[in-house]
A and B are shown apart, each in its own frame.
Chain A
Amino acid sequence: MFKFQFNSVADFFAMGIYGFYVWVAYGAFFAVILWNWWQPRMERRRIVRLLRARGERQQEQQGGNATSATQQQSAQQ
């Protein structure tokens, strides 16, 4: 059950006569898996920076007042 099916590394990459099809399919699979992991990480960084920049802008408007940005914003609504 646990016998390696190929005689050499070159043999493994050749996948019989199907190397091209197998590795393109696996490439597409890994591209999607990595994108699914990478995209949310980048998005998270983008959102955190956006929210932080907004918070700092509001603090400047208040002239360093202790009231939180949150309270001011909800009061405006």
Chain B
Amino acid sequence: MLVFTRKRDDAIVIGDGIEVRVVRIGRDSVRLGITAPAHIAVHRREVYDAICRANRAAASDPTVLDRLAARLRGAVLPGPSRS
């Protein structure tokens, strides 16, 4: 892992068009500003990981989905009248 020492308002550049800037330094946290091209997704690690775990737990064998749907059908609201 590359490790840099940066002061407030300092930045690092990653590849073509990604910049990470130190916006504010607190006692236990730093605030970072990230500039990236629109096609580059930027996520908080713990949020992304939580969604990874939820997705892995939700992945199902497609052959059992009819049965699962039948079991859960009573738990959902009627279809919205708006389109």
A, B assembled together: no
